[in-house]
């Protein structure tokens, strides 16, 4: 079997890992294990389809970058996609020069993402761009009934209702790549959705877990960018430090698993070994554990429902010794109570929540505002917002633009 893949954001942290995973999947030999038949016909059928997945070759049809044109050109030479999209048009010409001798179509500008997401020949769309820019492409892929491997959480946060509806109506399977949601998705296989009583999202606590409410006022950009466990892009690293990342994950889980926000808990787990847990109505709690390596959830999203040998280091619990858990500090990390409020209010609040965060993080990364001002600006923006309900994509984008303007203007007066 051949599966055709488009990777949106192939030059980022997730994108590069996805390419490593695909290379390893293509180079691993097909297991010779015989199909087991002793557990009944239904399981046998499932195993047959999983066996076919194990025998899959993954062909890369399209890749995309925003500005990293040199890396994109290198990737194009190595993986030979039919299409490459460069969303920042300033670099299209230079990319064209680097790929002049290759048979590859170059798509320049933001629409290139949507174009590659809905190509007829693409089966799986892996979305690994950063921020709300991924929304039109993710929606287009859902409408075309693709298998969506979603790392880019922002579209689910801002337009979860619309996206899940389009996916259901068009036969699109959404498999989460975010490690926590992948863990929940995997744990959910132990029962039916109706049997789930609670989702427990784990969080490492980020670099400021042990910093006091007073000291967090003066933390630096450098400190915010040094995540204790995960090696990620700058935006998501800052989101981990403010715990906005976890705040978004509450909303993401709410839409992906159709759970009320009150049934989604955040649990601090500094070792990042338990990637999340699901509690069932009988009190059983099923967790997914593993070394902190994004290659595992990326691979599972590609091979689902099968599991195959991967490149991640295997977990040795005896080397870790103990695992610790603690309550999340809702006073220090205001982003968390805000997320519950946003999920309860619904409408355009989530788009404003996300856009305000993107704008504020940009200001912080540029050194124009303090770390604590990120969440303060988001809260101010939410307080000023007139919520609209049952909105179209255009209205969502209007609310998004409004929030970005509000935050950039407010950032000058901080
Ligand atoms: N990294 C992780 O471990 C992790 C874990 C869970 C979820 N996620 C989610 O996965 C997504 C990607 O994260 P990441 O850490 O891989 O980010 P990243 O390293 O910053 O990479 C982002 C990718 O998106 C591209 N991009 C940036 N701005 C763009 C724009 N305006 N339009 C189109 N493409 C753009 C980048 O291209 P250039 O290289 O040209 O800038 C790059 O390919 C995020 O939504 C994040 O929340 C990440």
Can you give the residue ranges of every domain in the chain?
2-177+294-314, 194-257+326-412
50 CA to centre of ligand 1 in angstroms = 30
Q: Which long-range contacts (CB under 8 A, 24 or more apart) does 307-310 make?
A: 308/25, 308/28, 308/31, 308/53, 308/54, 309/28, 310/21, 310/24
- Higher per-residue pLDDT: 36 or 50: 50
12 CA to centre of ligand 1 in angstroms = 5
DSSP code at position 322: -
Q: Which of 14, 134, 299 gets mutated to test ligand 1 (max ligand atoms within 8 A of its CB)?
A: 14
Averaged pLDDT for residues 203-210: 94
Task: Answer yes or no: are the C-beta atoms of 138 and 148 closer than 8 Å.
Answer: yes
Indicate if ligand 1 lies below 6 Å from the C-beta of 59.
no
- Name the band, by pLDDT with cuts 50, 70 and 90, for residue 312: very high
Indicate if ligand 1 lies below 6 Å from the C-beta of 130.
yes
Question: Which residues, including other chains, have CB under 8 Å from residue 311's CB and lie 6 or more apart?
Answer: 20, 21, 24, 295
pLDDT at 30 over 90: no
pLDDT value of residue 45: 57
The whole-model pTM stands at: 0.91
DSSP, collapsed to helix, strand or coil, labels residue 61 as: strand
8 CA to centre of ligand 1 in angstroms = 9
Averaged pLDDT for residues 36-44: 50
CA distance 246 to 341: 14
Taking CA atoms only, the protein residue closest to ligand 1 atom 5 is 178
pLDDT at 77 over 60: yes
pLDDT value of residue 53: 64
Which tens digits make up the pLDDT trace of 141-188?
A: 999 999 999 999 999 999 998 999 999 999 999 999 999 999 999 999
Indicate if ligand 1 lies below 6 Å from the C-beta of 14.
yes
- Nearest atom in ligand 1 to the alpha carbon of residue 17 is 16
Averaged pLDDT for residues 103-115: 97
215 CA to centre of ligand 1 in angstroms = 30
Task: Answer yes or no: are the C-beta atoms of 131 and 235 closer than 8 Å.
Answer: yes
Q: Report the percentage of the chain scoring pLDDT > 90.
A: 87
- Nearest atom in ligand 1 to the alpha carbon of residue 231 is 3
pLDDT value of residue 24: 96
DSSP code at position 328: -
Q: Report the percentage of the chain scoring pLDDT > 70.
A: 94
pLDDT at 18 over 60: yes
Indicate if ligand 1 lies below 6 Å from the C-beta of 176.
no
CATH number of 2-177+294-314: 3.40.50.720
Indicate if ligand 1 lies below 6 Å from the C-beta of 178.
yes
DSSP code at position 216: G
Indicate if ligand 1 lies below 6 Å from the C-beta of 296.
no
pLDDT value of residue 103: 97
DSSP, collapsed to helix, strand or coil, labels residue 285 as: strand
Averaged pLDDT for residues 102-131: 97
Nearest to 360 by CA among 340, 332, 336, 379: 379
Average pLDDT value for the chain: 93
pLDDT at 32 over 50: no
CA distance 129 to 65: 8
Nearest to 246 by CA among 224, 266, 226: 266
Taking CA atoms only, the protein residue closest to ligand 1 atom 33 is 66
Pairing of strands 2-8, 285-289: unpaired
Fold of 194-257+326-412: Rna Polymerase Sigma Factor; Chain: A (1.10.1740)
Q: How many residues are present in the chain?
A: 414
Q: Break the chain down into helix, strand, coil percent, rounded to 5.
A: 50, 15, 35
Taking CA atoms only, the protein residue closest to ligand 1 atom 6 is 178
- Is the Cα torsion angle 24, 302, 142, 44 positive or negative in sign? positive
CA distance 26 to 47: 20
Pairing of strands 173-176, 147-150: parallel
pLDDT value of residue 52: 62
Nearest to 173 by CA among 115, 134, 136, 125: 125
Six-digit token pair at 363? Answer: 């200001």
- Higher per-residue pLDDT: 131 or 53: 131
For residues 174-189, b (16+ Cβ closer than 10 Å) or e, as one string?
A: bbbbbbbbbbbbbbbe
Measure Cα distances from 47 to 5, 43, 206 in Å.
Answer: 23, 6, 40
Which tens digits make up the pLDDT trace of 375-391?
A: 999 999 999 999 998 88
Taking CA atoms only, the protein residue closest to ligand 1 atom 11 is 152
Look at the block and give the residue holding tokens 């950039």. 408
For residue 41, is it left (φ>0), alpha (ψ between -120 and 50) or beta? alpha
Half-sphere exposure (CA, 13 Å, Cβ side) for 191? Answer: 19
DSSP code at position 388: -
pLDDT at 67 over 70: yes
pLDDT value of residue 207: 93
Q: Give the number of other Cβ atoms within 10 Å of residue 79's Cβ.
A: 18
Averaged pLDDT for residues 319-345: 96
Measure Cα distances from 279 to 197, 254, 263, 328, 339 in Å.
Answer: 6, 15, 10, 18, 21
CA distance 162 to 139: 8
Averaged pLDDT for residues 332-351: 95
Six-digit token pair at 5? Answer: 């893949």
358 CA to centre of ligand 1 in angstroms = 13
Indicate if ligand 1 lies below 6 Å from the C-beta of 150.
no
Which tens digits make up the pLDDT trace of 353-380?
A: 999 999 999 999 999 999 999 999 999 9
Taking CA atoms only, the protein residue closest to ligand 1 atom 28 is 66
pLDDT at 5 over 70: yes
Indicate if ligand 1 lies below 6 Å from the C-beta of 138.
no
- Residue 205's H or E segment, with its range, is none
């Amino acid at each position: 079997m051949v599966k055709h893949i488009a990777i949106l954001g192939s030059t980022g942290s997730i994108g590069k890992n996805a390419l490593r995973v695909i290379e390893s999947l293509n180079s691993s030999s097909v297991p010779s294990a015989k199909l087991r038949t002793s557990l009944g016909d239904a399981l046998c059928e499932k195993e047959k389809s999983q066996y076919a997945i194990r025998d899959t070759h993954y062909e890369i049809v399209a890749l995309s970058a925003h500005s990293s044109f040199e890396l994109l050109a290198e990737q194009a030479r190595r993986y030979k996609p039919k299409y490459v999209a460069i969303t920042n048009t300033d670099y299209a010409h230079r990319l064209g020069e680097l790929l002049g001798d290759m048979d590859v179509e170059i798509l320049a500008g933001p629409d290139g993402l949507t174009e590659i997401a809905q190509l007829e020949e693409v089966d799986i769309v892996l979305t690994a761009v950063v921020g709300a820019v991924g929304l039109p492409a993710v929606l287009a892929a859902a409408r075309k009934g693709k298998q969506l491997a979603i790392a880019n959480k922002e579209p689910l946060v801002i337009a979860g209702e619309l996206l899940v509806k389009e996916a259901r109506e068009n036969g699109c399977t959404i498999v989460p790549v975010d490690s926590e949601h992948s863990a929940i998705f995997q744990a959910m296989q132990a029962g039916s959705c109706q049997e789930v009583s609670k989702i427990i999202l784990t969080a490492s606590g980020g670099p400021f877990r042990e910093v006091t409410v007073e000291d967090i006022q003066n933390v630096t950009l450098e400190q915010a960018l040094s995540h204790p466990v995960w090696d990620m892009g700058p935006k998501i690293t800052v989101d981990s430090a403010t715990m906005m990342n976890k705040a978004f994950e509450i909303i993401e889980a709410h839409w992906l698993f159709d759970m009320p926000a009150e049934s989604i808990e955040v649990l601090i787990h500094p070792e990042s070994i338990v990637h999340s847990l699901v509690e069932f109505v009988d009190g059983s709690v099923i967790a997914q554990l593993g070394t902190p390596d994004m290659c595992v959830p990326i691979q599972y999203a590609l091979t689902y429902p099968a599991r195959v040998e991967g490149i991640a280091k295997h977990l040795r619990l005896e080397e870790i010794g103990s695992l610790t858990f603690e309550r999340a500090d809702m006073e220090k990390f205001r982003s968390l109570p805000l997320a519950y409020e946003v999920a309860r209010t619904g409408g355009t609040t989530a788009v404003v929540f996300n856009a305000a965060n993107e704008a504020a993080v940009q200001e912080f990364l540029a050194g124009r505002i303090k770390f604590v001002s990120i969440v303060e600006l988001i809260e101010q923006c939410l307080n000023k917002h007139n919520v609209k309900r049952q909105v179209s994509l255009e209205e969502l984008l209007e609310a998004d633009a409004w929030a970005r303007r509000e935050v950039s203007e407010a950032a000058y007066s901080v």
